Amino acid sequence: MRKSHSRQAMLGFLAVLAACDTSPRVEAEDAVITLPALAGRPGAAYFRLETNQAGDRLLRVETDAAGRAELHETMTAGGMAGMAPLASAPFDTDGTLAFTPGGRHAMLFDMKPGFAAGSKAKMTFTFEKAPPLTIVADVRGPGQGSADHQGH
């Protein structure tokens, strides 16, 4: 009987320790890779990240669907829209970072053959503080960049 109580106490203690884990970590959701409308043009990646680490930054995105990826932001100046590369992207004060159509996005250059709408591709995110995160993203056709376009 005594062994059972000490085991339960140890399991409870370990659960409390796990809940107090403050190591930097990031979670991703709604990751989508959009194929280009024209062969040879860049694709794009969109996603939403959440971190528990204040002041962290996204430094780089890599995917097996493209030869290289660059972080970009769509900007409007003087009534003209354009894109500017980003060296990194800081998380908002609430711990979120969104890359969405018409805003921040990852430009995917040298798209690799074999990735078609409906397939999956790996994406790896590199951060300033948190360890790298690798996920699987949905590959979608041109114009289907946000998670709301599923099935369209």
Euclidean distance between CA atoms 16 and 78, whole angstroms? 54
Please report how many Cα atoms fall inside a 13 Å half-sphere around the Cα of residue 39, on the Cβ side. 5
Would you give the end-to-end CA distance of the chain in angstroms? 60
- pLDDT tens digits, the chain, 152 residues: what are they? 455 555 565 555 545 545 556 788 899 999 999 999 998 999 999 999 999 988 999 999 999 999 999 999 998 888 888 899 999 999 999 999 999 999 999 999 999 998 999 999 999 999 999 999 999 999 999 987 665 434 43
Place of tokens 């796990």: 18
Cβ atoms of 95 and 24 closer than 8 Å: no
What is the pTM (predicted TM-score) of this model? Answer: 0.80
Q: Which amino acid type is present at position 47?
A: F
